[in-house]
Structure 1
Amino acid sequence: MSRDRVIQTAIAFIDEHGLPGLTMRRLGNELGVEAMALYRYVPGKEELLDGVVEALIESMRQDEDVLDTPSDGWQDFLIRLAHGVRRVALQHPKAFPLVASRPPEAPWLRPPLRSLAWVEVFLSGLLAEGFTEDAAVAAYRAYTSVLLGHLLLEVSNHGADVGPLDALGEDSGDDPEEAADASTVRDYPVVHRLRAQLSQDHAATEFEESLEELLGRMTLLRNEHSQS
């Protein structure tokens, strides 16, 4: 018995039975122990679910196609990362909505890149490719919004329960430095330096820009079909 075995068994249970059916008692049955024995490894169900999210996101470290740094340009870097997240989502569609709904390590991080380590990888990669800090943060916001929306829709078609998701980055009102453990954030220097920009709320502007881009793409499609 170990914390990793408990969490991996929880993921397997969710994959088979769905998230609503997961309880500490049922998980204990899967492992052949009393529910109370699990608390030695996870203090409660909330910590168990946090562990599931951490395990899902960190599983991309074993994905050979996902890069820590760009090697063939930033587009290739982001495409590989997006496909890595998608593979996790499709391998565990019933568990993936937890990535959107569980509290992140810092309240201004956005799903599905909810770990400080992966946000550090993302931002550092774009900065290395010539992005300004403001451009890298804007790219992070746009990238996560498009990726999450698509993947939640996709996993819902694979039996995932995607609602209600009541923790999609709501502003807690806390100062970002106080809301996240400051010493932990400082372990990720780029994230730490850009935390103020990352915590800003541009939801309305992002929605309008996404809508404008969508309408532009629809115009192109309309013109293409009208000429054929």
Structure 2
Amino acid sequence: MVEDTDAGPTPDADAEIVAGRKPPSARVPLDRDTIVAEALTFLDEVGPGGLTMRRLGARLNVEAMSLYRYVPGKEDLLDAIVEHLIRGLYADPEVLAEPRDGWQDFLQRLAHGVRRMALRHVKAFPLVASRPPEAPWLRPPLRSVDWVESFLSGLLAEGFTDEAAVAAYRGFTSFLLGHLLLEVATHGADVGPLDVVEDTTPDPSLEDFPTVARLSGELSEDHAVEEFEIALEQLLERITALKVEHQG
């Protein structure tokens, strides 16, 4: 077995007990929320591939086995991180759980809250898309029943029909996921097959593509903020049209 040298020395609970001292796990007040929060911090630093139960235990100064009382394994831990991220939207003071100044303000606040979450946790955000949802109709990044309820009931209260509210949910989540996965990729997130251009120097392979080579600098410029705002405005216009169409 390959030794995980990056994790540091493994705490030896047995030796601590023999020496008359409390084992490491007894000195650290563990609970599921503490473990998940520390795992998210660690994941923000190293990405999902670098997160192991042993390394997480070392960061908490406990044996990895101590974590299994609260988190059955890494897969459960990754799911818990996603739940933690989505629940965190409720703690964002700019995000509303229901419309107060109209549905457009409600969706704009929610969209920007999700974007802030993605930019705050660049390496963790792709998990929101990759982890299996609890139900096939839960669409990332709004993949919790609580947020689906808030979203749909909020739009229904603003005069949307059932059909228009569901269509808005589909369009809104597709917009957010597609845009934000591309954006976090530019900040170094591992999003699988997406390739991110970081070097503005024309690649020698572009010699047969003079226009692309000439515009490579412009192509690599970061206009994420402007593109997000424009696309969000266009999305809200489409949702407005959906609302009117289904009311007719």
Shared topology, TM-score over 0.5? yes
Q: Does 1:76 align with 2:105?
A: yes
Q: Quote the residue 1:140 is aligned against.
A: 169
Q: Please list every run of at least 4 consecutive aligned residues from structure 1 whose deviation after the TM superposition is greater than 3 angstroms.
A: none
Residue 135 of structure 1, CA deviation: 0.4
Q: Does 1:119 align with 2:119?
A: no
Instruction: Give the AA of the match of 1:32.
Output: N
3-state secondary structure, aligned to 1:145:
helix
Instruction: Provide Cα deviations, 1:56-106, integer angstroms capped at 9, x if missing partner.
Output: 000111111111110111100000000111111000010000000111221
Q: Quote the residue 1:101 is aligned against.
A: 130
Q: Does 1:29 align with 2:58?
A: yes
Q: Does 1:11 align with 2:40?
A: yes
> Given the two structures, how large is their TM-score scaled by the length of structure 1?
0.71
Alpha-carbon contact 1:105-1:116 (below 8 Å) kept: no
Instruction: Provide Cα deviations, 1:165-218, integer angstroms capped at 9, x if missing partner.
Output: 9xxxxxxxxxxxxxxxxxxxxxxxxxxxxxxxxxxxxxxxxxxxx9xx89xxxx
Instruction: Give the AA of the match of 1:56.
Output: L
Q: Does 1:43 align with 2:69?
A: no
Instruction: Give the AA of the match of 2:177.
Output: L
Identity across the alignment (%): 72
Q: Quote the residue 2:27 is aligned against.
A: none
Residue 164 of structure 1, CA deviation: 5.7
Q: Distance in 2 between matches of 1:46 and 1:19?
A: 11
Instruction: Provide Cα deviations, 1:107-157, integer angstroms capped at 9, x if missing partner.
Output: 211100000000100000100000000000001001100110000001111
**Structure 2 residue corresponding to 1:62, chosen from 91, 95, 100:** 91
Task: Pick closer, same or farther for the CA change 1:156–1:41 going to 2, 3 Å.
Answer: same
Instruction: Give the AA of the match of 2:127.
Output: L
Mark the structure with the bigger radius of gyration.
Answer: 2
Higher relative contact order (CA 8 A, sep 6+): 1
Alignment of 1:175-186 (within 5 A): none
> Given the two structures, how large is their TM-score scaled by the length of structure 2?
0.66
Residue 19 of structure 1, CA deviation: 1.3
Task: Pick closer, same or farther for the CA change 1:164–1:4 going to 2, 3 Å.
Answer: farther
Q: Distance in 1 between matches of 2:134 and 2:147?
A: 11
Q: Distance in 2 between matches of 1:66 and 1:16?
A: 26
Q: Quote the residue 2:139 is aligned against.
A: 110
Give the root-mean-square deviation of aligned CA atoms.
Answer: 1.7
